[in-house]
A = this chain, B = another copy of it.
């Protein structure tokens, strides 16, 4: 447990430093493998003009770069705040063993990071969402899927 607390402390310190540096929101994350931190990251949305640059996504990208893999099996993710739906999705695609978090999404909502709207939208059928979705061109698009299905040397993920 002691180690886990130390790893989380590192994520929290990153989140505090990030408020002071102004790179983005008050969030930090680290990825741990075999008892060692292999990636450290903060939220850089506003510094990098990248709405996907949340601490968790940045940490996942960096850990994958370090490992030369698109999977984080055998790794744990420590994040200073409960992940938003985008980060959760990225986490599921990266497949770490476990996720540790500190602040909750309710804490985040109280400082105006309201992921709740996104959670609600995702749970709705497309036609009931506030954001408009239009389907177009499926017959042509299916050709890519058919070609993928038949491709002998495809790399699955």
Contacts and interface: CB of A to CB of B under 8 A. Distances in A.
A88 to B, nearest CB: 6
A37 interface: no
Contacts of A74: none
Interface residues of A, number: 95
Contacts of A143: 12, 16
A128 B137 CA distance: 38
Given A26-B147, A86-B86, 15 more contacts: A8-B137, A22-B154, A24-B155, A45-B93, A49-B64, A50-B61, A91-B131, A92-B117, A98-B132, A99-B132, A101-B135, A103-B145, A104-B135, A107-B142, A122-B122
